[in-house]
Structure 1
């Protein structure tokens, strides 16, 4: 088989990009422990990116040479980043044009993801700066709340994360919520800021924009924001009661937040209220499942690398 050396990374890419995401999104335990679920989604993205890079790299090498691409990679890295002088002095052979093309093409998947993430972060900062300027004109700081109060009758609570984060609450929310409920909503927003959830949301949005037809990209774009809200709920529950947080979510669910913000309410409020008021009685062995998935992914990557670097029947 002429391209047998490309099959292992391609199979791994299909598993990470198509098959495993469908199982993860249907799992019952993902919403119980959202932080572990977020880690698994990130792991699938990393495995897919690495597998695609490995597959592209293999395509640029003949079958016989592709079995020794780790040595070629070492020579390639040796001649880059200002070490060309050492190569010339030691008389080492420079990599071929095919090697340069192969390694350059293999960088495309992670580079595309990094560029998309950078664009999302840039857009976020631009929208945040614009909204922060508006808040400076119409909002007022309340030291007892440690938040900016917006003169608006609709109950709304959200945060503007970033280098100068701030929590924003409308006057409607201040009047509609009790002290405990307002504290719960504010703690939810501070959890977003402390966890730097806006960066994870930007990464999910960037990856989802790269390929909307890929199941992993589509599900990451949809699931990560929900899991971030659930993770913030769990952190807020450390300092407030379940009933207070659930009522706060119900009251501020109709409030609108800017695109650069993370809001306590939103379209997922009903699902999160049910999760808060009806916690699961049994906790799954998520740590074991996570470690198993991580070990499986790393093992498959090692297997693919060993298989592709060892002499094969076509070499």
Structure 2
């Protein structure tokens, strides 16, 4: 019971307190890739911890696994993980909840993927039919004859991905700003941001109602845009990208559904960030600290779950203790 209580407390800290800390942290704007990795780590660890709780509560599955893995004595394992609280009804209920959770997440994932693929395929058909490739520096970019300034990418494989700019965007931006915009969209494709966005949507839809990870999807979109901004700014300059983003944001009607678009999430914050500068010397240690924190977070549920089992390792089939012969 102590193990399950510890894991539940850890899940609550990750899902609620961790969500609040990462959402309010000021350092994430200086190192969005690091922050994005931490968000993913928190989400994966939270789900793994809840899964451990359900498996431990189901007990039979866990008990047989521990006995086989640690070559442990089954009665001792049963005593360690069951205690006085254990009942067949609790184990059956936990198994049902575990199966229901896996089924719900699977259904949510399939549904989100179907919606995303439908929208992606629709935009790809329109782009292929109405947006021919440009010339010169835009020879790999589709140009859509639309007066509304917009820039977006259509995810896919190397041959199926598309970067689309409207004629309105080309008329509004300078050549340098157009290049920065294309680099921003290329970053979305290179980093596969559409995949992490779908993952965040699924997790938030599955557990956000409980208050855990409720900002995961929103923050993933926000940080993915900053990562793409950094990629484009490193190639074409922060000011060039900031002006391009400002011009595009001021134009009405430039959103493209759920596809990664230039204006993306909170363009005002991104413009201020680009103008103020993104890097400082102290931030160089953040990736190393975040990597250490990620490893520690991921190890906790496994360590807590297996710690009691380690105390009875190699106890299976132990020979009975023999008392020394008595002397007459």
Q: What does residue 207 of structure 1 align with? A: 203
Moved more, 292-301 or 34-43: 292-301
CA shift, 1:98, in A, is 9.3
Aligned residue-pair number: 287
Unaligned stretches of 5+ residues in structure 1: 76-95
Q: What does residue 152 of structure 1 align with? A: 146
CA shift, 1:194, in A, is 0.9
Query: Is 1:275 the equivalent of 2:273?
Result: yes
Match of 1:250 among 242, 246, 251: 246
CA shift, 1:72, in A, is 5.2
Q: What does residue 305 of structure 1 align with? A: 305
Residue by residue over 1:73-105, the C-alpha shift from the partner in whole angstroms, topping out at 9 and shown as x without a partner, is 769xxxxxxxxxxxxxxxxxxxx9998986675
Normalised to the residue count of structure 1, the TM-score between the two structures is 0.81
Q: What does residue 156 of structure 2 align with? A: 162
Kept in 2: contact 1:61–1:98 (CA 8 A):
no
Q: What does residue 8 of structure 1 align with? A: 6
1: CA distance, partners of 2:3 / 2:310:
10
2: CA distance, partners of 1:12 / 1:69:
25
Kept in 2: contact 1:208–1:221 (CA 8 A):
yes
Q: Write the mapping of 1:126-275 to structure 2, written as runs, cut at 5 A.
A: 126-144=118-136, 145=138, 146-163=140-157, 164-253=160-249, 254=251, 255-275=253-273
CA shift, 1:134, in A, is 2.1
CA shift, 1:231, in A, is 0.4
2: CA distance, partners of 1:192 / 1:176:
22
Cα distance change on mapping 1:246 and 1:281 into 2, 3 Å? same
Normalised to the residue count of structure 2, the TM-score between the two structures is 0.78
For residue 257 of structure 1, give the secondary structure of its aligned residue in structure 2.
coil
Cα distance change on mapping 1:301 and 1:158 into 2, 3 Å? same
CA shift, 1:256, in A, is 2.2
Cα distance change on mapping 1:138 and 1:51 into 2, 3 Å? same
For residue 218 of structure 1, give the secondary structure of its aligned residue in structure 2.
coil
Residue by residue over 1:133-176, the C-alpha shift from the partner in whole angstroms, topping out at 9 and shown as x without a partner, is 22233222214212111111121111111131111111111111
